[in-house]
A and B are shown apart, each in its own frame.
Chain A
Amino acid sequence: MGTKGRFGEFGGQYITETLMNALDELEQAYNSAKEDPDFQAEFHRYLKEYANRPSLLYYAEKMSRDLGGAKIYLKREDLNHTGAHKINNCLGQALLAKRMGKTRLIAETGAGQHGVATATVAALLDLECDVYMGRLDMERQALNVYRMELLGARVHGVSSGTGTLKDAVNEAMRVWSEECATTHYCIGSTMGPYPFPTMVRDFQSVISKEAREQILSKESRLPDAVLACVGGGSNAMGMFYNFIDDPDVRLIGCEAAGEGADTPRTAATMNTGSVGIFHGMKSIFCQNEEGQIAPVYSISAGLDYPGIGPEHAYLGTSGRAAYVPVTDEEAVRAFEYLAKEEGIICAIESAHALAHAMKLAPRMGRDQIMIVCLSGRGDKDVAAIARYRGHDLHE
């Protein structure tokens, strides 16, 4: 087993020989940037003045009262520029790409949020941008496709495989292996070969760094539970990271179960998958007995991925974090509930975490506290939810 980028047995660098040099170069650039006060100052200036950080920690009082249990706080990543946590990572990686002298960013996207965030930072920092997106996802998220084009990016439809997020990753890797001399692959989640899972987690860990300070200042204590939705796992890793060493804080990742974790129409990797090696990492994947990666399904294009980041696989198998399945129906109900109860339309991805919060809060005491990461806003999902509810609404 290689020693680089391991979380227990998970992680590693399972990638073509052609890309190894690019990974070494990235690792060195990242390690030097991490220690460079100028880089960090620039990154934090953009986070503050461009992305609108720190994001608010909002006490959802009405919802807490209605559910009749724990006090529920929402970490409002939906209020970031571009409407999701994805911008945190993209700013970091784009600044790093500039530092390495790259002139172009490429990215995969599922729901389109990471594609939009990448296109945004590319515009900001004068980088070219190409985004790879599954054909099926382009239909589901047509508005985000146009948004990326407005920002100056080229969006490439990927028809191979299932035409969803994993196929977009495949295509971005293929393109990167041709053009890594000039191009940085801005991976959108805590996945892929080392150093990506570590680097993306570090860029996203600002979420829990702020949340920890905010809850200590509001409540003078740590939360009892922290919840986040998980696909590849970037908002969850960001939300968990600064609580990992606090054993009394329960960490709960909420996976997309689609039509149910006991049906084939699911994307609940931790609950239905097994150990495998794919997309550069040893982790847990939805796959058949033969190691062929399974087609997965969720109403949420952002969670519709057959794997999970290696650090989550480690946190899950070591028992530090729990991963629970949440169905489409439960997520849609939570989406509708938050809109009516708190006047917040959240992303369907984030609604998965909220749905589990709605189950868990009533079982907790009124003196207990939970933080739910509201990873993104839901404008992009309104039409799809309307269709799910039987309305003939198209963007």
Chain B
Amino acid sequence: MSKTLDAFKNGKAFIPFLTAGDPDADATVSYILAMADAGADLVEVGIPFSDPTAEGPVIQEADAKALAGGMTVSGSFEIVERVRKVKPDLPIAFMTYINPVFKYKGAAYEEALKEGQVPDEEPEPYVPFFKRCEEDGVDALILADVPFEEQEEVRQVADRYGVDLISMVSPTSRDRIRKIAEDPRGFIYVVSSMGVTGVRSDLKSDAVRDMVSIIRETNPAARCAVGFGISTPDQAKQMAALSDGAIVGSAVLRKIHAGSGPDEVAAYVRSMKEAVTGS
């Protein structure tokens, strides 16, 4: 049973993002635990990809570092397994690109390959990934390069294993928002601005307000969290006031890249959670 929507049961949600394996797996586990203790309502864990076309420079750097350090899809699952032992109830989502999900063949297949055996048959695409999500307690998946029109082949497998395939809407979605909002899984990821991920000094409330109002008109039960460009408590407060929560990625990674330890990142998360709670 997916815990994605539990993220919204403590009022407005604060959702931090970080990249698995940046700077290494142990650090990622420590950061996630610290953020959960500081009030993060859901943690998004990025599975690094070689060519993250939707990301700005900060997450690009994080992906490159994580891959250079040997992080893999299985390694990202292992991080979640370790977190789960301590935090059984924390909602966790993966965020990545479709190719690593499409190509993932599961730990047993990988072991066989390592021992030089070539398994007879390749598993059905997406099944090993979502099966492992179910086993390790990954509640949701966000794929930056799968728009609504291409979701079907992924979503039917995700549904089978009780994993929420999150949909995004953006300022250019216009008429498409209605069909996206009709039957969403988990929450709807509202992309605040045009372009790629990264910190922005000016966030435009109007576009977000419009998107959220179309979503709510179409589907009053839908939950919306706003991401892209948010870094300060004021921005988080502003965006959460218009929706059900705020998602922050690049700003968290900037702290990690600047050498902040789990305590400092936790202090930041606490200030952001306080800001969205008061919104």
User: Which chain A residues numbered 139 to 163 have a C-beta less than 8 Å away from chain B?
Assistant: 160-161
CA of A161 to CA of B64 in the docked complex: distance in angstroms?
Answer: 8
- A18's closest neighbor in chain B, by CB? B170
Please, which residues of chain B bring their CB within 8 A of the CB of A13? 147, 149-150
Which residues of chain A have a CB within 8 Å of any CB of chain B?
1-2, 4, 12-22, 160-161, 166-167, 170, 173-174, 177-181, 276-280, 285, 287, 289-293
**Residues in B whose Cβ lies below 8 Å from that of A179:** 194-195
Asked, given contacts A1-B152, A2-B152, whether A17 binds B195 with beta carbons under 8 Å apart, the answer is: no
Considering the complex, give the chain B residue whose CB is closest to the CB of A24: B176
Contacts of A181 in B (CB 8 A): 194
Interface stretch (choices B13-21, B85-93, B96-104, B261-269): B96-104
Taking the nearest CB of chain A, how far is it from the CB of B63, in angstroms? 10
Contact yes or no, B169 A17, CB < 8 A: yes
B residues near A280, Cβ cutoff 8 Å: 145
Q: Known contacts A18-B191, A178-B195, A181-B194; can you find 5 more A-B pairs with CB under 8 A?
A: A20-B147, A174-B56, A289-B110, A290-B72, A290-B73
Q: What is the chain B residue whose CB lies nearest that of A282?
A: B102
Contact between chains at B168 and A17 (CB < 8 Å): yes
CB contacts (< 8 Å) of B101 on chain A: these are 291
Given A18-B191, A21-B176, A179-B194, residue A160 in contact with residue B60 (CB < 8 A): yes
The yes or no answer to B173 lying at the interface (CB within 8 A) is yes
Establish whether residues A174 and B53, one from each chain, have CB atoms under 8 Å apart when the complex forms. Answer: yes
State whether B196 touches A177 (Cβ < 8 A): yes
Query: How far, in whole Å, are A285 and B103 apart by their CA atoms in the complex?
Result: 12
Q: Is B174 an interface residue (CB 8 A)?
A: yes
- Smallest beta-carbon distance B209→chain A, Å: 18
Min distance, Cβ A18 to any Cβ of chain B, angstroms:
4
Dominant secondary structure at the A interface: mixed
Q: Are A291 and B194 in contact (CB under 8 A)?
A: no
Task: Answer yes or no: B105 CB below 8 A from chain A CBs.
Answer: yes
Q: In the docked arrangement, what's the CA distance between A18 and B192, Å? A: 10
B53 contacts A4, C-beta separation under 8 Å: no
Interface flag for B67 (CB, 8 Å): yes
Known pairs A1-B152, A13-B150, A15-B147; A20 contacts B172 (CB<8 A): yes
With A170-B53, A290-B104 given, is the CB distance from A15 to B145 under 8 Å?
A: yes
| Residues on B with beta carbons closer than 8 Å to the beta carbon of A291 | 49, 73, 99-104
Residues of A within 8 A of B49 (CB): 291-292
* Closest A residue, CB atoms, query B105: A289
B residues in contact (CB < 8 Å) with A: 49-56, 60, 64, 67, 72-73, 97-105, 110, 113, 144-150, 152-153, 167-174, 176, 191, 194-196
When distances are taken between beta carbons in the complex, the residues of chain B under 8 Å from A277 are 98-99, 102, 145
Q: Please, which residues of chain A bring their CB within 8 A of the CB of B153?
A: 1
Note all chain A residues with C-beta closer than 8 A to B167: 17
Q: Could you say which of A16, A166, A290 contacts B145, with CB atoms under 8 Å apart? A: A16
A166 and B54 in contact, given A13-B147, A18-B195, A289-B103 (Cβ under 8 angstroms): no
Q: Which of A14, A19, A292 contacts B67 (CB 8 A)?
A: A292
Interface centre among B53, B146, B173 (most CB of A within 10 A): B53
| 8 Å CB contact of A20 from B52, B105, B152, B176 | B176
* Contact yes or no, B50 A292, CB < 8 A: yes
Q: A1-B153, A14-B98, A178-B195 are in contact. Are A287 and B103 (CB under 8 A)?
A: yes
| Chain B neighbourhood of A14, CB < 8 A | 98, 145-147, 150
A159 to B270, CA, bound (A): 36
Instruction: Check A289/B194 contact, CB under 8 A, given A17-B148, A277-B99, A278-B51.
Output: no
Q: B169 to chain A: which residues have CB within 8 Å?
A: 17
Chain A residues near B53: list those with CB within 8 A: 16, 170, 173-174, 279
Task: Write out the residue numbers on chain A whose beta carbons fall within 8 Å of the beta carbon of B72.
Answer: 290
- Inter-subunit contact B73/A18 (CB<8 Å): no
| A102 shortest CB reach to chain B, Å | 15
